[in-house]
Amino acid sequence: MDVDEFELWEAEDAEEFSSSVAGDIGFIIDQALDARREAIIALPAEDFLLDAYARLAEGKRDWRHVMIVPTHDGIVAIDDPTSNVATLARIFMPKGARVLPLSAANDDYKRAAADADARLQALNWPFDLVVLTMDDDGGVIGLKQGPDIDEALTAADDRRCLGMLDDRGAEAISLSKRTITNARTLLLALSSPLQKAEAENAVEGDDGILARILADVAVPVDAHVVAAE
């Protein structure tokens, strides 16, 4: 992508990071509510983002018209405390938001993903926002290297999510690349200087998964990271 379309915001500390992330997401939600009377956003449920989400949930808006989908989730029951949708539901459902699960208990991760894809097809598209996170190895959380990664990165426009088996055998469901790149807004949330460096390399066009995603993004991308101590 064009480097001019990528802006990185480096917070001084975790509190500033959470405030900035919550402010950006809240602004995007409010814009969508004003324009279309609904907002559909996809959020990861990583621990370092939970304070930002708690701040976001305190915002005064009509949460009844906000739909939240996890960017990825494990193959577990929706009421399992380890599930991403359960984490998001605990924060946002008391405010009135709707939280749509990707996963449910199912022995076949491909079949579970097909069920999730059918549920997502019923939503108005595209997403107003997708938030992506990374690991320190440069991987995009939810889109791990494994036998399904090429399918996730090349699936047709109408494929909303896919079953993913990573290189350690862990099963999950993740949004497809097309769902991510077709979103009206994309935000990166980074938790370390290593992730910041990996994101900057991706913008410059390395051959990693994030670079393959950003190559097809047509909107400006904001990234938030906590400054190194």
pLDDT, tens digit, 9 for 90 and up, residues 130-186? 999 998 877 898 887 788 889 999 998 889 999 998 767 788 999 999 999 999 999
3-state class (DSSP) for residue 152: helix
Domain annotation for the chain: domains and CATH numbers: 3-226 (3.40.50.1360)
The kind and range of the H/E element at 161 are strand 161-165
Q: Any alpha helices (H) in the chain, and if so which ranges?
A: 14-36, 50-57, 84-92, 109-121, 149-154, 177-181, 193-203, 209-214
Neighbours of 223 (CB within 10 A): 21
**Omega cis (within 30) before 147:** no
Report residue 3's pLDDT band, with 50, 70 and 90 as the boundaries.
low
Greater confidence (71 vs 165) lies with 71
Mean pLDDT for the stretch of residues 31-55: 97
- Can you name the residues that pair with 172 across neighbouring β-strands? 74, 164
Higher-confidence position of 82 and 99: 99
Rounded Cα distance, 211 and 224, in Å: 17
Percent of the chain having pLDDT more than 70?
96
- What pLDDT score does 136 carry? 83
- pLDDT for residue 116 is more than 70: yes
Residue type, 19: S
Q: CA gyration radius for the chain?
A: 16
Residue 84: closest CA among 205, 211, 172, 23: 172
Distance CA 173, CA 179 (A): 13
Report the distance separating Cα 131 and Cα 185, nearest Å: 9
Give the separation between CA 139 and CA 199, rounded to whole angstroms: 10
